[in-house]
A and B are shown apart, each in its own frame.
Chain A
Amino acid sequence: MMKNKKLFWSFLIILFWQVISMSGTFSSLILPSPYMVIKAFLESIMRGELLNETMYSLIIILEGLFIGTFFAFLLALASIRYKIMEDFVETLIAIAHPLPGIALLPLIILWFGTGRTSVVFVIIHSALWPILLNTTTGFRTIPRIFTDVGHNLGVRGIHLISTIYIPASMPFIISGLRIGWARAWRALISAEMIFGAVGGKGGLGWYIFKQRVFMDTAGMFAALIIIVIIGMLVEDLLFERLEANTIEKWGMTVK
């Protein structure tokens, strides 16, 4: 039902866009018609260029998200295990969480140059803090009854974490991953674009930047379409599936 409504409105928007561009109010260099965009999109995919850049961006974001999630969990575990780490992690989050990754970029370029490492660093920074913040909040707000029951039934140590703390915090963990992904995805595109400006190469952001240099407006739109599609796929397929198979199935959502 929801999907159909989205499809319906997308169709109307594209139709409106086509009408505007056919009216000739704007030059096609400013606003290419949907037809031109789709043509550029297909051509670019046929050339393999757009797909290559998409893969480049996806691999780099997966790498960054993987490392970021790993450290987020490590710090979250340390903070529930040791009181001193809890204070430390809390301070760390307070300092780092409000800092947009892009604001750090000049420093990062100074430290690591404009290569791949810098982009991965920006992604880790964008994803780590929201995931850590949500996970520690989840751990801290576990209903006491679950840990009481766990202790009573003889669950101890690392088992308590894997069998009780993590599933009980799942609503928080998933929302942390969602925010982490969204921030990392935006930071990635922006970082690639800025690196494009200083001579670096690779990725969707860089591709958009490059098409601007060639005045290939339709090509820029084509890359934007890819970004929208990936965002929708991750949101609607990945996260909604993940929720359906966990917290919704378990009746842990507030709906």
Chain B
Amino acid sequence: MNDFLKAVSISKTYLNENKKLKVLEDISFSIGKGEILCILGASGCGKSTLLRVIGGFERIDKGEILICGNKVLKPSADMVMIFQDYNQLFPWMTVLENVLFPLKVNKIGASAMQRIEISIEYLKLVGLEDFKNYYPHQLSGGMKQRAAIARGLALKPSVLLMDEPFGSLDAITRSNLQNELLDIWRKTEVTIVFVTHDINEALALGDNIIVMDKTPGRIKERIKNFQERPRNRRSDEFLDLYEKIYSMLDVQI
């Protein structure tokens, strides 16, 4: 069960003006179903590239990604990516239509009525049912990200890939959304791979934390986060782990 999602020695090189740039080197990990893995690192460490690789968006030179033992070759609705960019909702569809659209495409639900019911159920889950007829440009950044999460979850994917989804939000909204995400995670039991540069965020969310090194992107350290949930962000355990990770990140003073 611990091999639900597995990366086997992933390496990736970008070719830029005939210069080879190694972005990922020999990355391996495996996580169990229903776990949250946080990938933590500074900007440019290749953590977003790694997430795109896991989702099948990028080709790799070496290695493979396995989900339930099956190789991931291209993006699929079974692993939904939530991007950092607020504009991932389709602006020409209302919030409800955005959630409905992938259900229609993947022929989930027996009838149009049932699809609407499913969509509304997930909009309720993220607290947006009152905004279902709004267009994305009428929503705040946090609401847009919640709608994107509802759209992804309605497909009942086995993995949710999240690329710093709360990265451009203010601190208060960010903490609220982290707690909401944990709530949703408890209810749906979805496996989450969460990329972030925020140590607090990784500590609040992750069961496992991978700390990345820069150029080439390598795994520097794997940390098991055994803290009980709900986690107290002021507890000694939390702060100790924070110190430990902080010292790993080569912060220059």
A interface residues (Cβ-Cβ under 8 A, vs B): 143, 145-146, 148-149, 151-155, 159, 163-164, 167-168, 170, 246, 249-252
Q: Which 5 A-B pairs have the closest CB atoms?
A: A251-B137, A153-B102, A167-B92, A154-B77, A152-B75
Interface of A is mostly: helix
Instruction: Contact check, A251 vs B136: say whether CB atoms are below 8 A apart.
Output: yes
Per a CB cutoff under 8 Å, which of B55, B76, B88, B91 touches A251?
B91
Instruction: Contact check, A152 vs B90: say whether CB atoms are below 8 A apart.
Output: no
Is the interface on chain B under 10, 10 to 19, 20 to 34, or 35 or more residues? 20 to 34
Instruction: Contact check, B137 vs A250: say whether CB atoms are below 8 A apart.
Output: yes
Per a CB cutoff under 8 Å, which of B81, B87, B136 touches A152?
B81
Compute how far the CA of A251 lies from the CA of B83 in the bound complex, rounded to whole angstroms.
20
A-B contact pairs, 10 of them (CB 8 A): A145-B83, A146-B90, A148-B75, A149-B88, A154-B76, A154-B102, A164-B90, A167-B92, A251-B138, A252-B91
Per a CB cutoff under 8 Å, which of B74, B79, B81, B135 touches A250?
B135
Contact residues in A for B74 (Cβ distance below 8 Å) = 151
9 further A-B contacts with Cβ under 8 Å, apart from A249-B135, A251-B135, are: A148-B75, A152-B75, A152-B76, A152-B80, A153-B80, A154-B106, A159-B105, A167-B90, A252-B92
Contact residues in A for B102 (Cβ distance below 8 Å) = 153-155
Contact residues in B for A155 (Cβ distance below 8 Å) = 102, 105
**CB interface residues, B 54-109, toward A, < 8 Å:** 55, 57, 74-77, 79-81, 83, 85, 87-88, 90-92, 101-102, 105-106
Given A148-B81, A249-B135, A251-B135, the answer on whether A153 and B155 have CB atoms closer than 8 Å is yes
Closest to A153 in B: B102
Compute how far the CA of A168 lies from the CA of B136 in the bound complex, rounded to whole angstroms.
14
Nearest chain A CB to B241's CB is how many angstroms away? 32
Contact residues in B for A152 (Cβ distance below 8 Å) = 55, 57, 75-77, 79-81
Per a CB cutoff under 8 Å, which of A143, A149, A168 touches B92?
A168
Compute how far the CA of A161 lies from the CA of B159 in the bound complex, rounded to whole angstroms.
27
Per a CB cutoff under 8 Å, which of B79, B81, B87, B151 touches A143?
B87
Per a CB cutoff under 8 Å, which of A148, A251, A252 touches B57?
A148
Contact bitstring B133-151, A, C-beta under 8 A = 1, else 0: 0011110000000000001
Nearest chain B CB to A137's CB is how many angstroms away? 18
Compute how far the CA of A225 lies from the CA of B151 in the bound complex, rounded to whole angstroms.
53
Per a CB cutoff under 8 Å, which of A145, A148, A163 touches B101?
A163
Given A148-B75, A250-B135, A251-B136, the answer on whether A153 and B105 have CB atoms closer than 8 Å is yes
Contact residues in B for A143 (Cβ distance below 8 Å) = 87
Nearest chain A CB to B186's CB is how many angstroms away? 24
Compute how far the CA of A152 lies from the CA of B56 in the bound complex, rounded to whole angstroms.
9
Nearest chain B CB to A62's CB is how many angstroms away? 26
Instruction: Contact check, A153 vs B77: say whether CB atoms are below 8 A apart.
Output: yes
Nearest chain B CB to A161's CB is how many angstroms away? 13
Compute how far the CA of A164 lies from the CA of B89 in the bound complex, rounded to whole angstroms.
11
Most chain B Cβ neighbours within 10 Å, of A143, A149, A249:
A149
Compute how far the CA of A91 lies from the CA of B155 in the bound complex, rounded to whole angstroms.
43
Contact residues in A for B80 (Cβ distance below 8 Å) = 152-153
Nearest chain B CB to A149's CB is how many angstroms away? 5
Compute how far the CA of A148 lies from the CA of B87 in the bound complex, rounded to whole angstroms.
12
Compute how far the CA of A245 lies from the CA of B95 in the bound complex, rounded to whole angstroms.
17
Nearest chain A CB to B52's CB is how many angstroms away? 9
Contact residues in B for A164 (Cβ distance below 8 Å) = 90
